[in-house]
């Protein structure tokens, strides 16, 4: 028996911050102090507070060490693990109070969360199937195979109200029911782990922290619809997730939880991996299946829908990682338990990847219906540097921007659609007053143009024409007629594109036009970027009353655009200025401003 367990985050975020070196240093230091047999070291998945990595938690007292450095390890081992004295200065600051150290669950980041899909992330070793089983893993599969019919399973999902977490929000139970109704000699269960939205890392974190939850759910799905083969389509850019999935699949096969005659019930189901090459369009279900088949990832016309004719022309269901991660818990706890959370039409919880201008960058799981204000100000810790909230982008390139006027909107599928955005897979990028909304729309259009498969003309050509107009606007070269043409293009592309990528590509433009049209008009009519972002519309100036003539700006200007003598005000030559901003960064007196 170990007297202490040290959990070290092994998710991508902490790994990029050096958690592997922390892990190695910790094991070495424990060995030096003769504690190897007393203290267990466990590498886990993501804890959620990605901005604080590397993260290390010591149990049983649950001391949460953040931003740990290799040089901190000897002190943590000698003081905490050897002598029992917590190193307070290295703890997550919010857990340290005048009354003592408070539990992590009581911090602002965690207290409003409810973790279902993320329940094991940061708690178990994802490379050890026994730890998953120890937390109730594979009990749901056992219950399904020994106590329930396929129709029972589907009815549980229908009663739970679970909707697809990949962005579409289609009822999961209904999708499974449609696939079950179609007879075929072979059916397939697919998992969409091709997470491609900029700023999204929910699925990756689940696969890195709790891969068996997805495998178990896919086996349950196979039983429910009558399939014997599953495929997980995962991005090759997720090496940690891929490796842990491979380990998990092999472990499940060794314990006969995948393969032939599972639990001695005569049910056969196996899972294989297919690696995606990073094409965003392969997140669309028919393009994903086309790619699994070995062809170029392009969408197919629908109908027929995958439940009728999907992978290899056979009935197929496709759900994303987060959707599957909920299913074992719904089976074990009952549909009423899941349906008791959330809103009338959006049940359960939703995982979001918080990014952008926010203190607590990371992963959160909240009940549907939580307001945007709660997510950003309470869980996310607010906007840094005293800036004001301007907008939040949800749904990535397929979504839209939520302005400050909707700061108190409850987050669910229908509410977000009603204000011109969408849930998407769960990326939530926060913007402040220094962000230009025209530039934001242009950024997402650049992404969409790059990722279009080119199969249909509205998307292939239309998005490029939209991007050209947006570029003209950011350069101050557009007219109001261009703005009308841009809006007209948006609606044409939405109505005529072949798949979801093109149909939703105009959303960032439409939502910013809806809420921030004044910024577009300022770019066009006044040749001015209100946020001071679009370089072509900026000019840099020196305030002669503040300039001390230190020459620091002139010495750092890469284009020799600044002139003046020592102790006298300097001047910027607007014809030479390349608007790089180096002068503002170097000025110690706040004498340089842009307008």
d(CA 115, CA 120): 9
β-partners of residue 276 are: 235
At residue 395, the pLDDT reads 86
| pLDDT at 517 > cutoff 90 | yes
Which string of b and e fits 211-230 if b means at least 16 CB within 10 Å? Answer: bbbbbbbbbbbbbbbebebb
Is the residue at 371 inside a domain?
yes
Is the same domain home to 551 and 500?
Answer: no
* Residue among 91, 94, 97 at smallest CA distance from 79: 91
> How does residue 594 score in pLDDT terms, banded at 50, 70 and 90?
confident
The pLDDT tens digits of the residues spanning 105-127 come to 899 999 999 999 999 999 999 99
Is the residue at 121 inside a domain?
no
Is the same domain home to 374 and 512?
Answer: no
The pTM for the full model equals 0.92
The pLDDT tens digits of the residues spanning 167-200 come to 788 999 999 999 999 999 999 999 999 988 888 8
- Average pLDDT score over residue span 155-169: 93
Is the same domain home to 264 and 363?
Answer: no
Is the residue at 531 inside a domain?
no
Of the residues 398, 432, 466, the one at which a domain ends: 432
Is the same domain home to 519 and 546?
Answer: no
Is the residue at 235 inside a domain?
yes
The pLDDT tens digits of the residues spanning 561-579 come to 999 999 999 999 988 999 8
Is the same domain home to 192 and 327?
Answer: yes
Q: How many C-alpha atoms does 442 have within 13 Å on its Cβ side?
A: 16
Is the same domain home to 314 and 219?
Answer: yes
Is the residue at 287 inside a domain?
yes
DSSP state, 88?
A: G
What does the longest C-alpha to C-alpha distance in the chain come to? Answer: 89
> How does residue 362 score in pLDDT terms, banded at 50, 70 and 90?
very high
Is the residue at 218 inside a domain?
yes
Is the residue at 112 inside a domain?
no
d(CA 455, CA 453): 6
Angle among Cα 396, 169, 174 to the nearest 5 degrees reads 155
Is the same domain home to 199 and 332?
Answer: yes
Q: Can you read off the two tokens belonging to residue 586? A: 């170097």
Of the residues 432, 457, 480, the one at which a domain ends: 432
Is the same domain home to 251 and 374?
Answer: no
Is the same domain home to 332 and 361?
Answer: no
d(CA 147, CA 484): 61
- Average pLDDT score over residue span 532-555: 91
> How does residue 397 score in pLDDT terms, banded at 50, 70 and 90?
confident
Of residues 1 and 38, more confidently modeled: 38
| Residues whose CB falls within 8 Å of the CB of residue 476, separated by 6 or more in sequence, listed in order | 523, 524, 527, 534, 536, 537
Of the residues 471, 495, 525, the one at which a domain ends: 525
At residue 409, the pLDDT reads 93
Q: Following DSSP, what letter does each residue of 329-378 receive, concatenated?
A: HHHHH-HHHHHTSB-SSSBSEEEEEEEES-SS-EEEEEETT-BHHIIIII
| pLDDT at 538 > cutoff 90 | no
Number of domains in the chain: 5
Is the same domain home to 334 and 362?
Answer: no
Which string of b and e fits 271-296 if b means at least 16 CB within 10 Å? Answer: beebbbeebbbbbbbbbbbbbbeeee
Full domain range(s) for residue 516: 437-525
CATH of the domain at 46: 3.40.30.10
d(CA 162, CA 474): 42
CB 433 within 8 A of CB 444: no
At residue 70, the pLDDT reads 96
CATH of the domain at 471: 1.20.1440.230
CATH of the domain at 583: 3.30.70.20
- Average pLDDT score over residue span 419-425: 85
Q: DSSP 3-state assignment of 400?
A: strand
At residue 166, the pLDDT reads 85
Is the same domain home to 244 and 300?
Answer: yes
Structure-token match 């029972």, residue found: 152
CB 394 within 8 A of CB 427: yes
The pLDDT tens digits of the residues spanning 462-487 come to 999 999 999 999 999 999 999 999 99
Is the residue at 226 inside a domain?
yes
| Residues whose CB falls within 8 Å of the CB of residue 48, separated by 6 or more in sequence, listed in order | 109, 110, 113, 118, 121, 122, 362, 363, 364
Is the same domain home to 242 and 297?
Answer: yes
- Ramachandran region of residue 581, left (φ > 0), alpha (ψ -120 to 50) or beta? left
């Amino acid at each position: 028996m170990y007297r202490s367990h040290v959990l070290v985050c092994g998710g991508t975020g902490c790994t990029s911050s050096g958690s592997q070196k922390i892990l190695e240093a910790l094991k070495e230091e424990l060995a030096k102090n003769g504690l190897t047999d007393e203290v267990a070291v466990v590498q886990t998945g993501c804890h959620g507070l990605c901005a604080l990595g590397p993260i290390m938690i010591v149990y049983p007292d649950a001391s949460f060490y953040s931003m740990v450095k290799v040089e901190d390890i000897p002190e943590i081992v000698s003081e905490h693990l050897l002598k029992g004295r917590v190193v307070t200065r290295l703890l997550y600051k919010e857990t340290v109070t005048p009354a003592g150290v408070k539990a992590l669950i009581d911090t602002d980041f965690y207290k409003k969360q409810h973790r279902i899909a993320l329940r094991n992330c940061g708690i178990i070793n994802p490379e050890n199937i026994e730890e998953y089983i120890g937390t109730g893993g594979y009990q749901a599969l056992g219950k399904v195979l020994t106590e329930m019919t396929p129709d029972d399973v589907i009815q549980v999902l229908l009663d739970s109200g679970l909707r697809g977490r990949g962005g579409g929000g289609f009822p999961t139970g209904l999708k499974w029911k449609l696939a079950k109704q179609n007879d075929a000699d072979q059916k397939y269960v697919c998992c969409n782990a091709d997470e491609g939205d900029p700023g999204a890392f929910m699925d990756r974190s689940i696969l890195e922290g709790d891969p068996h939850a997805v495998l178990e759910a896919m086996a349950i799905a196979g039983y429910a619809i009558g399939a014997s083969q599953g495929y997980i389509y995962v991005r090759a850019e997720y090496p940690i997730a891929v490796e842990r999935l491979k380990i998990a699949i092999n472990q499940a096969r060794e314990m006969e939880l995948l393969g032939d005659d599972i639990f001695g019930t005569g049910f056969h189901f196996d899972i294989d991996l297919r690696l995606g090459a990073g094409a965003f369009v392969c997140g669309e279900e028919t393009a994903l299946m086309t790619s699994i088949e070995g062809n170029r990832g392009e969408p197919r016309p629908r109908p027929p829908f995958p439940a009728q004719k999907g992978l290899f022309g056979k009935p197929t269901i496709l759900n994303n990682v987060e959707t599957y991660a909920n299913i074992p818990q719904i089976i074990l706890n009952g549909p009423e338990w899941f349906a008791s959370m959330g809103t009338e039409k959006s049940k359960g919880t939703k995982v979001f990847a918080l990014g952008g201008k926010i203190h607590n960058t990371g992963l959160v799981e909240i009940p549907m219906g939580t307001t945007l204000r709660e997510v950003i100000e309470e869980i996310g810790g607010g906007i840094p540097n005293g800036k004001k909230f301007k907008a939040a982008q949800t749904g990535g390139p397929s979504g839209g921007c939520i302005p400050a006027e909707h700061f108190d909107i409850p987050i669910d599928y229908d509410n977000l659609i009603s204000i011109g955005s969408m849930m998407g897979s769960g990326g939530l990028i926060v913007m402040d007053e220094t962000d230009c909304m025209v530039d934001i729309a242009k950024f997402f259009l650049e992404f969409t143009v790059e990722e279009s498969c080119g199969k249909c003309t509205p998307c292939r050509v239309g998005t490029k024409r939209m991007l050209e107009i947006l570029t003209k606007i950011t350069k101050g070269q557009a007219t109001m007629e261009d703005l009308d043409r841009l809006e007209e293009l948006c609606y044409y592309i939405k109505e005529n594109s072949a798949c979801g990528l093109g149909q939703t590509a105009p959303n960032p433009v439409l939502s910013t036009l809806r809420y921030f049209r004044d910024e577009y008009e300022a770019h066009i009519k006044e040749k001015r970027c209100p946020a001071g972002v679009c370089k072509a519309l900026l000019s840099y100036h020196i305030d002669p009353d503040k300039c001390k003539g230190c020459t620091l700006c002139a010495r750092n200007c890469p284009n020799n655009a600044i002139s003046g003598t020592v102790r006298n005000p300097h001047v910027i030559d607007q014809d030479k200025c390349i608007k790089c901003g180096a002068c503002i960064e170097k000025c110690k007196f706040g004498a340089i401003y842009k307008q």
